């Protein structure tokens, strides 16, 4: 999945109208439900603004069983809220290449989680963020493009994420940048500390070689926070019926 990070800034303010509310997830469920049936969607019932967002689908095989990820895709580019939620509700349901498409018979087992992203900041280093509070978006150059250190580093360091000098690219050097992201809830759910999360993100970005300390220090980290709401199929069905939608 490719995502673009905005310039570090506070995308959302603290105003009440910029909260994440159940209606955001209901709109995602409604978009998916109507895409799988012949029914008409209910008009969005929330304030409109632009923000980066992610839509996550989880499934529970039966009551009491843990949730399993069923799809998760979003964007770091601010998009109109109603349009963005509808778009990424379908993309995450049908086009997350880690999973098969969500089908009509699965709806009753689904839960929808909406994350509205805020407070984007450049981290001072790959360790300059807090597990459970921040999500991370990382980018780093192909390790072949990194400067050769006089003596390779091995211990985790809070030094800056940017190399001390820009390496010269030879004609045969690959010209490629790796990128990946994790939402704030991922690290605590997996039981990862900051170092384990960064290493996992490096792997997620597609790098399969050795992860050295010099590579970690070359990683640019943008940290951010999120406002999250989760709703179940049952809650959505009650909302749609109360809103005059056919089931």
Structure tokens at 146: 């990194």
**pLDDT tier, 1 (very low <50, low <70, confident <90, very high otherwise):** very low
**Model pTM score:** 0.79
pLDDT at position 2, please? 34
CB 199 within 8 A of CB 86: no
User: For the purposes of burial, counting CB atoms within 10 Å of the CB of 229, is it exposed (0-12), middle (13-18) or buried (19 or more)?
Assistant: middle
CB 114 within 8 A of CB 25: yes
- d(CA 131, CA 24) in angstroms, rounded, equals 26
Residue ranges of domains in the chain, CATH in brackets: 16-120+226-242 (3.30.700.20), 122-225 (3.30.1490.150)
Query: Tell me: the pLDDT tens digits for 137-195?
Result: 999 998 887 776 555 555 565 544 433 333 344 444 454 899 999 999 999 999 999 99
Contacts of 181 (CB under 8 A, 6+ apart): 3, 76, 135, 136, 137, 138, 201
Length of the chain: 247
Structure tokens at 41: 């969607």
């Amino acid at each position: 999945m490719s995502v673009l990070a905005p310039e570090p800034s506070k995308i959302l303010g603290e105003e009440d109208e910029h909260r994440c509310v159940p209606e955001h997830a209901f709109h995602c469920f409604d978009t998916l439900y109507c895409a799988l049936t012949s029914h008409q969607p209910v008009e969005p019932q929330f304030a409109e603004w632009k923000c980066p967002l992610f839509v996550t689908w989880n499934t529970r095989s039966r009551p009491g069983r843990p949730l399993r990820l069923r799809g998760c895709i979003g964007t770091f580019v601010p998009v109109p809220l109603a349009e963005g939620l509808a778009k990424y509700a379908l993309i995450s349901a049908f086009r997350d290449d880690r999973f098969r498409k969500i089908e009509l018979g699965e709806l009753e087992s689904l839960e929808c989680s909406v994350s509205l992203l805020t407070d984007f900041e450049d981290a001072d280093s790959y360790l300059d963020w807090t597990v459970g509070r921040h999500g991370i978006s990382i980018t780093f150059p192909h390790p072949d493009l990194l400067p050769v250190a006089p003596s390779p580093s091995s211990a985790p360091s809070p030094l800056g994420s940017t190399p001390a000098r820009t390496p010269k690219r030879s004609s045969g050097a690959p010209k490629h940048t790796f990128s990946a992201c994790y939402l704030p809830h991922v690290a605590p759910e997996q039981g990862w500390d900051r170092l384990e999360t960064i290493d996992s993100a490096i792997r997620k970005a597609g790098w399969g070689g050795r992860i050295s300390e010099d590579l970690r220090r070359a990683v640019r980290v943008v940290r951010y926070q999120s406002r999250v709401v989760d709703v179940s199929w049952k809650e959505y069905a009650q909302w749609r019926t109360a809103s005059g939608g056919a089931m």
